[in-house]
Amino acid sequence: MKLTVVIPLYNKERHISRAIASVLNQTHRDLELIVVDDGSTDRGVSKVEMIKDPRIRII
């Protein structure tokens, strides 16, 4: 069974890497992570893009 985790992102550059690591380090391997950018003005989206993992999608 595939698990989908959604993380909303709005100007949380300081915290997004840690939140993503927390999701990706779970024992359940069949997962996708959707990061929803809500018009951030910081570099949070850039930080997500630097994480090269096929399970991550940014919308």
CA pair distance 45, 51, nearest whole angstrom: 10
CA pair distance 53, 35, nearest whole angstrom: 13
pLDDT tens for each residue of 4-14: 999 999 999 99
pLDDT tens for each residue of 20-37: 999 999 999 899 999 999
pLDDT tens for each residue of 38-55: 999 999 999 999 999 999
User: CB 35: neighbour CB atoms within 10 A?
Assistant: 23
Per DSSP bridges, beta strands 3-9 and 56-58 are: unpaired
The model scores a pTM over 0.85: yes
Residue type, 35: V
Please report, for the chain, the start and end positions of each structural domain, with discontinuous segments joined by +: 3-58
Please give the pLDDT value at position 29: 86
The DSSP 8-state label assigned to residue 25 in this structure reads: T
